A and B are shown apart, each in its own frame.
Chain A
Amino acid sequence: MSTAVDMPHFVRARQVEALPPPNLARGPIAWIRENLFSGPFNTILTLVVFYLLYVSVPPLMKFLVIDAVWTGTDRAACRADSGGSESGACWAFIWDKINYFIYGSYTISQRWRVNIFFILLAVGVVWLLWLKAPRRDLGAVYFFWVFPVVSYVLLTGGNENFSGRFWLGFAIFGALVIALFAFVAALLKASLRPALILGGGIVAVIGITLALVDLDFGLAHVPTSLWGGILVTLLVATVGIVVSLPFGIVLALGRRSKLPIVRMASVIFIEFVRGVPLITVLIMANTMLPLFLPGDMTVDRLLRPLIGTALFASAYMAEVVRGGLQAMPKGQYEGAMSLGLNYPQMMSLIILPQALRIVIPGIVNTFIGLFKDTSLVAIVGIFDLVKTIEASRIDPAWAAPTIGLTGYAFAALFYFVFCFGMSRYSLGVERRLAAGQKR
């Protein structure tokens, strides 16, 4: 006997060495028995799931792949009465219309500009999201400044032709901004030089941006009413994602602020935007915004729903971020405060990195929701991917029974690839952050 069960006196004489666990049954058969058929309930569940898979997967594969029509130039290929096959997807239709699905009605001779935009976007996304990429700080400058400005010039053609009065106005604005920074610095008794550099820097960035937009690069003007397809979908989604996260964080902090006016403003914004459907926000942005603005001011047709979706996503993002902030223990705030960190330092260095990490699933959930919600801009007449499919579906040259289904299958595939990609990336981020700090 090795342990003291019925002995009044026991002193261990020898340390028990660590042993490997007993050799359990391994191999595929054991795994199946243990995981799929471990009991009557589990067995029934397994059989039901297998039956559902049997019912759904083979017909889907038959429609999408086996019976599908891959080549053809018009409806004849996908109609039984003209010798084609009409029981499968008509991929020939997608192939024929693919340019319309990607670019919408963007001027055909200028579509290389959209291609460059796609490449620039991909470069920016990879630079920021691929962790081993070099100089990711430069990547941020690229993605948040260089890329938007270049894209704007590329896609619209730039050459805004600002008037002399506009530049005069900008000069006054710049002087005011710099004066404001100097004033705040004097108020806080901070040194003047960094404030002037900061203010000057902001004015310079805005000025350079405006100058680039103003310059004539010899690119033909392409009005936004011609844009469409994947270009618009990606544009709306990217702007929405890039704007909603920082704006949502600001709103969440505002909602938890001690200052009543800031808090009230945040609460009203969040609750109002969250309380109405996105379609309402879009229609309001589209038809009512111009009514509120002074007569000579117009907002671009595409910009209106762009702002609408971004603000809508921000309200949701704010609530997600607030959840993370509320999960932070009070001790983290106290630890930061006791070291003398001020509010912006405490938030940006201690609280937000942890709070955002907690809510990564929620953030990505909002991003995915936003990505799919971009299809609603069709309501206000923007030709996003789904709208271009809708428009092509009724093309008489392609009148065939499976055209609609094929179009939507293509849209589903497109959305799924992007959303699944986001989901997988966020899982990777979660795993990496969790590995860094095992609790």
Chain B
Amino acid sequence: MSAQHIPTATIDPQAQPAIEMIDVHKWYGEFHVLRDINLNVKRGERIVICGPSGSGKSTMIRCINRLEEHQKGRIIVDGVELLDDLKRIDEVRREVGMVFQHFNLFPHLTILENCTLAPIWVKKMPRKEAEEVAMHYLTRVKIPEQANKYPGQLSGGQQQRVAIARSLCMSPKIMLFDEPTSALDPEMVKEVLDTMVGLADEGMTMLCVTHEMGFARQVADRVIFMDYGQIVEMNTPDEFFKNPQHERTRLFLSQILH
């Protein structure tokens, strides 16, 4: 099955898709990074995206909250099309949480301030309520006792869990993960993955760029393999790992699975 033939019939026509990418192209100068991306993400769907470095997987999910601009095609997130309108882009970003490879916490603010900043300033939530929400999510990622420390005082795994909590404080409908465990020491990968599994179990719509194939097997509804800016193969995890169709996918899997 190739990317161009998404079985649209399987998508429930009642439910509007969470994300729709239609014929999306992107160039960095002359370099064609994203080519003909077509993707429909249902609500509550968990998608894992893998591929060699430079294949455009990060660029693709960064287009969804407009950290990168696409030059051709349409991207519709939660019913809002991403155009040049700044107000709409902010609207989309409010609904879409993102977790980065290097956490991108704000080092000059405490953990609690990191988590309450956006609810207070973007959602105009009263400070007290925002702090309650923040403590709720910090408890959920199991670090409420670190609330008054600064990011630099935490381990990588803790920082990444704070980053997840910070996104959750905005009650997003969709979460994007851009290689969330790639910058972590091996001992800390599991604590972050456990948090993500918990999130997946609660029905969050998730797009996750990762090479953690165990995670893909455990939670993903679909696995996407990208190369040269294209979606090369997309399938359920079972089929994807057991029975890869495309030659490039087989080569990639043989190199990362031992």
A residues near B, CB below 8 A? 188-189, 331-332, 334-342, 345, 349-350, 353-354, 357, 433, 436-439
B87, B100, B108, B117: residue with the most chain A Cβ atoms closer than 10 Å: B108
Is residue B170 contacting chain A, with contact meaning CB distance below 8 A?
yes
> How many angstroms from the CA of A339 to the CA of B86 in the assembled complex?
14
Instruction: Given A339-B93, A340-B94, A340-B170, decide whether A439 and B152 contact each other with a Cβ distance below 8 A.
Output: yes
Q: A345-B121, A438-B150, A439-B152 are in contact. Are A335 and B104 (CB under 8 A)?
A: yes
Partner of A349, one of B90, B98, B117, B151: B117
Give the contacting residue for A341; candidates B105, B122, B150; CB below 8 A. Answer: B122
Chain B residue nearest to A342 (CB atoms) is B90
CB <8 Å contact, B117 and A334:
no
Q: Are A354 and B107 in contact (CB under 8 A)?
A: yes
The residue from A334, A349, A436 contacting B100, defined by CB atoms under 8 A apart:
A334
Q: Which of A338, A340, A439 contacts B107 (CB 8 A)?
A: A439
Q: Provide the bound-state CA to CA distance between A334 and B152, in Å.
A: 19
Tell whether, in the assembled complex, residue A339 and residue B107 are in contact, meaning their CB atoms are under 8 Å apart: no
Interface residues of B in 172-212 (CB under 8 A from A): none
Complex Cα–Cα for A7 and B117 (A) = 56
Chain B contact residues, CB within 8 Å of chain A? 65, 67, 86-87, 90-91, 93-94, 96-98, 100, 102-108, 117-118, 121-122, 150-153, 166-167, 170
When distances are taken between beta carbons in the complex, the residues of chain B under 8 Å from A350 are: 106
Q: Which residues of B contact A332 (CB under 8 A)?
A: 104, 106
Write out the residue numbers on chain A whose beta carbons fall within 8 Å of the beta carbon of B91: 340
Known: A338-B97, A338-B104, A345-B122. 7 other contacts (CB 8 A): A335-B100, A338-B93, A339-B166, A340-B170, A354-B106, A437-B108, A438-B150
Contacts of A433 in B (CB 8 A): 108
With a cutoff of 8 Å between Cβ atoms, the chain B residues found around residue A188 in the complex are: 87
A425 to nearest B CB, angstroms? 20
In the complex, the answer to whether A353 meets B108 with C-beta atoms within 8 Å is: yes
- Contact yes or no, B97 A335, CB < 8 A: no
Bound together, the chains give a CA A345 to CA B123 distance in angstroms of 12
Q: Are A339 and B67 in touch, CB under 8 angstroms?
A: no
16 contacts across the A-B interface (CB closer than 8 A): A334-B67, A335-B104, A336-B106, A337-B93, A338-B96, A338-B98, A339-B167, A340-B91, A340-B122, A341-B122, A342-B86, A349-B121, A436-B108, A437-B150, A438-B152, A438-B153
* Contacting pair B118 A341 (CB below 8 A): yes
Q: How far is the CB of A354 from chain B (nearest CB, A)?
A: 5
Contacts of A334 in B (CB 8 A): 67, 98, 100, 104
A331 lies within 8 A of B102 (CB): yes
The 6 closest A-B pairs by CB, nearest first: A335-B104, A339-B118, A338-B98, A439-B152, A340-B93, A331-B104
Taking a contact as CB atoms under 8 Å apart, the answer to whether A335 and B106 are in contact is yes
Task: Report A-chain residues with C-beta under 8 Å of the C-beta of B152.
Answer: 437-439
Report B10 CB to chain A, min CB distance, Å. Answer: 30
